[in-house]
Structure 1
Amino acid sequence: MSASNKQDIVIARDLVKRFPGVGKNAPEIHALDGLTLAIGKGELTALVGPDGAGKTTFQRLIAGLYVPDSGSLTVLDTDVVADPQSIQNRISYMPQRFGLYEDLSVQENLDLYADLHGVPSSERQTRFARLLAVTDLARFTDRPAGKLSGGMKQKLGLACTLVRSPDLLLLDEPSVGVDPLSRRDLWNIIEQLVRDESLSVIISTAYMDEAERCARVYVMDKGRILASGTPEELRQKAAGKTWLAVPPQGVKSRTLQARLLEKRDTVADAVPKGDAVRFICQSADDKATPQEVNATPREPELEDGFMLLLHQAQPKASASAPVKAEMVAAQHNDEDANKPAIAVKNLVRQFGDFTAVASTSFDVRRGEIFGLLGPNGAGKTTTFRMLCGLLPASGGQLEVAGMNLRTATAKARARIGYVSQKFALYGNLSVRENLSFFGGAYGLTGKKLSSQIAASLEQFELSPDAISGELPGGFKQRLSMAVALLHEPEIVFLDEPTSGIDPLARRLFWYTIGELANKGITIIVTTHFMEEAEYCDRIAIQDAGKLLALGTPKEVRQLAGLDHTADMNSAFIAIVENARAKTNGTPAHA
């Protein structure tokens, strides 16, 4: 930790915060376990770390919403425990689920938060005008908040958080569930505030490219600081250990990734990118692994340093080892082998006079990982819900698992699994009780149900007696996946399955998805993490209800006019913005 001085806006020493354990007779949770740090004034500071690292707990302590069990915490030269109200009068805090009033308009939400914070009438007009201009919401002041897209809701939440001018702004993963274009806009707003108003901002984020934009980054794990420094300083922790490998002809990059991840003694991390796999060796002395896969050195990135730090902090026999997907094997009839798992032709969905999906056509092959991508409000969620049988189509043809969804919806649903974006299981039931209930709903009974539950608990490393609603985000997603796979479906639908979970948990989740696809199960996934598009065999990009691009990640880069080294974020933004420019230039979610 740097020596504290009068320019430090937050000073924590030996900070401890405990919570009761999750489940029966469970030990208490040390959310913060002797955390010590000092955060400088007038800077953009990032908190990064896996689920359960203590990032949200720390921000809530800073905001005076929690009281520490021991240690000291000074914010804005004030002891948080002694005078939390004084601090709350000077900070603004935007939690992960910001409380917008969805039946009130954009302007009414701003007025309400100005009233709550006691913003003088004389200051409001100027403040509102600036916030509406910087968030590009000035055209939508009369629109109800509930009718805004996800990205616009986040912008309004930020505007409401800033109706008063704070000395410190706390942002808890503000861009979770937001598409790349809206995420870019959100960060432009944040950086402008830091630049123009010298605002101090502490942000927790699951995106390493966001942490890259901060002056200082704190890597947290299990309530402690693993490391801190500038993005460059943390990046250099992986210097000499980062490599790029191209799979042999006919081998998928995710197959090579899985093989590398199984070498846990030498490989700390591996992730596909384009036609290659980026991986990190635990030691710069390891030459055997790079030689084995004909790898070439590459420059380290912040995420490399982050993943290496996390891997080194894990116990040797830990849950960081890849989860094996051996429980499920898709069952296909021989005559169905050459048929697509999903066939969509001229699919249309209208809501009154609004067309959410306009004449969309594509096929999804059996055993394929197919990504459905698009900005907030693009129509991808509507398409996804029609594919699952949760929403009837207004027109066109749709076959799932060889069945017409219009005439055999129930039979088709019996052959699919579904993981929703939001945790949709029974939060007050234990893990085992949820598995038992949904297994029964899928028609499993007796020994078959018991064996499937036992296999699920082992496969996803779940504690059977843990209360489901109290699980960390990554484990909630594991449970959701376990439930979706109980009845051995042919097709699994994943609606933003990794939204809000950290990079380490995302790696494990996608390893499991790849193993399922290798066993012949078809995976349909929506995601706002463009790096996850690299795991897909093919992706479709939608906007304004229309299909803009369809192909492999490499083909989509080519459609965007970019080379094979470009990241998918850039390709996605280029395709959407080019399509909008050819129409009228108005964002689809506006």
Structure 2
Amino acid sequence: MTENIAESIVEAINLTKTFHPKKMPAVVALNNISLSVRAGELTALVGPDGAGKTTFLRLICGLMDADEGSLRVGGMDVTADEQAVQDILSYMPQKFGLYEDLTIAENMTLYAELHGVPQNVRQERFARLLDMTGLAAFTGRLAGKLSGGMKQKLGLACTLVRSPKLLILDEPTVGVDPLSRRELWEILQTLTKQEHLSVLVSTAYMDEAALCQTVHVLNHGRILASGTPEELRHIADGRCCDIAPTSTMPTRMLQSHLLDDPGITDAVPVCGKVHFITRKAGGGVAFLSKYPELPKATPSEERLEDAFMILLKEDEEKRSSNIQPPSQREGDREAVVGVSKVGREGSIDCNVEGNASADTDEAIVDITVRDLVKNFGDFTAVSHTSFDVHRGEVFGLLGPNGAGKTTTFRMLCGLLPLTSGKLSVAGVDLRTARTEARRNIGYVAQKFSLYSQLTVYENLRFYGGTYGIPARELQQRIREVMEEFDLTDRADHVAGELPGGYKQRLSMAAALIHRPKILFLDEPTSGIDPLARRSFWQQIAHLSAKGTTIIITTHFMDEAEYCDRMMIQDHGEMLVLGSPSEIRERMHMPDADMNAIFIAIVEQARAELAKEGRKPA
């Protein structure tokens, strides 16, 4: 794509930035990069964890200095004209600083004071921002009482209390549900059109990047490609196909086989099928030739995410051609092939009672939930919910921010007492024997919650000790989980200084060190790029195939395709329960992606509430 320098709001030339952490090798965050951000447009930065996206954004904001190269914003040198540059931009970092004990109106007023916004400008500006973000009816509500989506929109409103020329957003929709993501991007598109605002955003969502006029793909501090989404999609021309799963080759098994095929670059569940990329246009797939009974693969439209995966895979292969990508161990492959009927999509009836079909009547039930209720004072967070989860099943808890899924999740893993109902985990009643039940549970929190000052090895030793694993057995178990999650070479690294992907691996290793029957994952892939999410879900598939029951919450709706069954909640009530294919059938949306299905289910339920004149708390 040809850039017009005169129309650029940001111009970086040969920019380099290196970090020197204590007791660790130097890290080149940006390696001689050059790129432009055009004025009045939406521009996306995409790349895996550690690609250099946040570093680049912070350099633009003057929060750190580059080692080499030049960086100009609005025609001004960032280093020489630091204050002048900061006067024309607004920055919303990943963790935006809202004051939770202040109301929406008070937060906006505080930020207006900090930015010196004149009183005569505030009323009109506030009204416009509140209307645009849908927060006008909630100005008296404390920020701490807002849902995640509302907090993100308030953060955006506070960032925009002054009218900047350049808006910089660092992964603004991490942990935000699809409805709120859609609303936030509608706001950004409106701002660029009506106010000619320039927006530079880093994102882990390829569907968001596809809404931008220009996309820059970064990896290891270098630019791999730049262009419009349409230009980048052409990288995958002639290489994309779809194939439908079958009763004998369900989605996760089919994906796993495709990923093992040397002729495949990537495979991922999409719209009820497995979407895959061949290494060459029109290339053959050895695995498919071995199974003539499978449906025929059909050519598929290329997506921006396909180009992203191709670029990253090829770059990683160039960087370390002598290191092969992780593959399944032979035992794991046999476990996947021998997956039980419970692990097959479509094997469980889609009904709100959660009863199993005849195929799974004899399956082991690891979690039983009956008439579950959780009240906080007069507020009902979860209302009379019932379902079962079977041994080896991957079960998804989904819903908009504030829907009650996190409350349900915390009750299931014993972190929150229930108000009423029945709840048993691994055959143990959580009301009467919570400690005993939690011995059978592994838990990975959304935010890194291990000891940042301890090394990888020390964290694993500590958590193994808390579960009472004997010392000799614990040493062997630590070696096993470090090998399983590729942590052996990082055993002596301080946990707090690990890259995000390795922190996630360590969290998984610590959660599984005592070999729990059930693993709880709270938005484990939040903010993680598609490449890392593929690897993560391969690990989950292996664990499930070997009998570990997985309960997961996620805001990546495409990840619902990996679930054997999922439950969607809103306002504390169950809206639907079933496998992805069953839910598609119920919604009469056989070819829709899960984002569209999720939004349709939630909007339909809310419309019915409004029609009945009921207003949820």
Superposition TM-score tier, normalisation by shorter sequence: over 0.9
Distance 1:136 1:318 in 2: 50
Cα contact 1:322–1:511 (8 A) shared by 2: no
Check if 1:302 corresponds to 2:327.
no
Give per-residue Cα distances to partners, 1:279-329, cap 9 Å, x unaligned: 1111114224485264221111110011010000013355853576979x9
> Are 1:384 and 2:409 an aligned pair?
yes
Pairing 1:428–2:433 present: no
What does residue 548 of structure 2 align with?
521
Kindly provide the CA deviation profile for residues 502-546 of structure 1, in whole angstroms up to 9, marking residues without a partner as x: 111111001100110000110000000000000000000000110
The one-letter amino acid of 1:430's match is T
Give the alignment's TM-score, normalised by structure 1: 0.95
Aligned to 1:338: 363
Partner of 2:353: none
Residue 606 of structure 2 is matched in structure 1 by: 580
Q: What does residue 428 of structure 2 align with?
A: 403
SS at match of 2:5: coil
Q: Which amino acid aligns with 1:168?
A: L
Q: Runs ≥4 in structure 1, deviation > 4 angstroms?
A: 317-320, 322-327, 585-590
Report the alpha carbon displacement of residue 559 of structure 1 after superposing the two structures with TM.
Answer: 2.6
Separation in 1 of the partners of 2:93 and 2:324? 28
**Aligned residue in 2 for 1:531:** 558
The 3-state SS of whatever aligns with 1:355 is strand
Aligned to 1:276: 273
1:41 to 39, 42, 48: 39
**In structure 2, distance between residues paired with 1:198 and 1:365:** 53
Q: TM-score, normalised by structure 2?
A: 0.91
CA contact (8 A) 1:536 1:552 kept: yes
Query: 1:316 is matched with which residue?
Result: 321
State yes or no: 1:495 paired with 2:497: no
CA distance in 2, matches of 1:379, 1:478: 27
Q: How does 1:141-540 map onto structure 2 within 5 Å?
A: 141-263=139-261, 265-289=262-286, 291-292=288-289, 294-314=296-316, 315-318=320-323, 320-322=325-327, 338-462=363-487, 463-540=490-567
Deviations 1:332-351 (A, max 9, x none): xxxx9733110100000011
The equivalent position to 1:566 in structure 2, one of 592, 614, 617, is 592
Match for residue 68 of structure 1?
Answer: 66
SS in 2 for 1:93: strand
Please give the secondary structure, in 2, of the residue aligned with 1:583. helix
Deviation at 1:467, TM superposition (A): 1.5
CA–CA separation in structure 1 for the residues paired with 2:530 and 2:16 = 25
- CA gap of 1:132–1:320, structure 2 versus 1, over 3 A, is farther
Aligned length: 582
1:539, 1:338 → 2: CA distance?
18
Shift in alpha-carbon separation, 1:376–1:476, aligned structure 2, 3 A? same
Gaps of 5+ in 2: 336-360
Taking only aligned residues, the RMSD between alpha carbons, in angstroms, comes to 2.1
* TM-aligned CA distance change 1:367 to 1:587, over 3 Å: farther
Q: Secondary structure at the match of 2:155?
A: helix
1:324–1:515 CA contact under 8 A, matched in 2: no
C-alpha contact (below 8 Å) 1:339/1:402 kept by paired residues: no
Task: Provide the C-alpha distance between the structure 2 equivalents of 1:324 and 1:289, rounded to a whole number of angstroms.
Answer: 19
The equivalent of 1:332 in structure 2 is none
Quick one: structure 1 residues 391 and 291, their matched pair in 2 at CA, closer, same or farther if it must change by over 3 Å?
closer
Q: Is the 8 A contact 2:373 2:418 kept in 1?
A: yes
Evaluate the alpha carbon distance shift between residue 356 and residue 317 of structure 1 in structure 2; reply closer, same or farther with a 3 A threshold: farther
Residue 136 to residue 320, structure 1, CA distance change in 2 (3 Å):
farther
Percent identity of the aligned residues? 58
What secondary structure sits across from 1:507 in the alignment? helix
Aligned residues of 2:5 and 2:11 also touching (Cα < 8 A): no
- Tell me the distance in 2 between the aligned counterparts of 1:42 and 1:325: 53
Instruction: Give the CA deviation at 1:14.
Output: 1.1
Cα distance in 1 between the residues matched to 2:519 and 2:125: 47
Shift in CA distance, 520/238, structure 1 to aligned 2, threshold 3 Å: same
Residue 80 and residue 279 in structure 1: after superposition, are their counterparts in 2 closer, same or farther (change >3 A)? Answer: same
- Measured in 1, the distance between the counterparts of 2:329 and 2:200 equals 37
Deviations 1:104-152 (Å, cap 9, x if unpaired)?
Answer: 0000000000001010111000000000000010111111100000000
Distance 1:184 1:495 in 2: 22
Q: 1:436 to 1:507 in 2, by over 3 A?
A: same
Provide the rounded CA distance (Å) in 1 between the counterparts of 2:330 and 2:165: 49
Post-superposition offset of 1:188: 0.7
1:587 and 1:282 mapped to 2: Cα distance?
A: 54
Which consecutive residues of structure 1, in runs of 5 or more, have no partner in the other structure? 330-335
Supply the distance in 2 between the matched residues of 1:490 and 1:566 (Cα, whole angstroms). 34
Matches of 2:583 and 2:615, distance apart in 1: 20
Secondary structure of 2:247's aligned partner: coil
Structure 1 position 19, deviation (Å): 0.9
CA contact (8 A) 2:264 2:285 kept: no
Judged with a 3 Å threshold, the aligned counterparts in structure 2 of structure 1 residues 319 and 57 are, in CA distance, closer, same or farther, namely: farther
Counterparts of residues 102-113 of structure 1 (less than 5 Å)? 102-113=100-111
* 1:541 paired residue number: 568
| Whole-angstrom CA distance in 2 between matches of 1:389 and 1:540 | 19
Instruction: Assess if the C-alpha contact under 8 Å between 1:377 and 1:589 holds in 2.
Output: no
Distance 1:536 1:125, change over 3 A: same
Secondary structure, counterpart of 2:6 in structure 1: coil
Task: Provide the rounded CA distance (Å) in 2 between the counterparts of 1:246 and 1:17.
Answer: 46
Q: 1:260 to 1:347 in 2, by over 3 A?
A: same
Contact 2:258 2:287 in 1 (8 A): no
Q: In 2, are the aligned partners of 1:473 and 1:500 still within 8 Å (CA)? A: no
In structure 2, do the counterparts of structure 1 residues 162 and 190 end up closer, same or farther at CA, with 3 Å as the change threshold?
same
Name the SS of the counterpart of 2:450 in structure 1. coil
Shift of 1:353: 0.9
Distance of 2:549 and 2:602 partners within structure 1 = 27
CA contact (8 A) 1:549 1:559 kept: no
- SS of the residue corresponding to residue 174 of structure 1 reads coil
In structure 2, the residue corresponding to 1:31 is in which secondary structure?
strand
Q: Which residue of 2 aligns with 1:123?
A: 121
Deviations 1:9-47 (A, max 9, x none): 1111111111124x63x2100000111111211110000
Listed one character per residue, the Cα deviations across residues 42-96 of structure 1 (whole Å, up to 9, x for unaligned) are: 1100000000000000000011111001111111101111121111111000000
CA drift of 1:470 comes to 1.7
Aligned AA (1:68): A
Report the 3-state secondary structure (helix = DSSP H, G, I; strand = E; otherwise coil) of the residue aligned with 2:15. strand
Please give the alpha-carbon distance, in whole angstroms, between the structure 2 residues aligned to 1:444 and 1:56.
40
Find out whether 1:9 has 2:9 as its counterpart.
Answer: yes
Distance 2:175 2:411 in 1: 20
Once residues 167 and 616 of structure 2 are traced to their aligned partners in structure 1, the CA distance between those partners, rounded to angstroms, is 27
Instruction: Work out whether residues 15 and 68 of structure 1, in 8 Å CA contact, stay in contact via their aligned partners in 2.
Output: yes
Matched letter for residue 607 of structure 2 = A
CA distance, structure 1, for counterparts of residue 305 and residue 162 of structure 2: 34
Q: CA deviation at 1:560?
A: 2.5
1:136 aligns to 2:138 (yes or no): no
Q: CA deviation at 1:246?
A: 2.1
Counterparts of 1:483 and 1:587 in 2: how far apart (Å)?
45
8 A Cα contact 1:374 1:543, kept in partner? yes
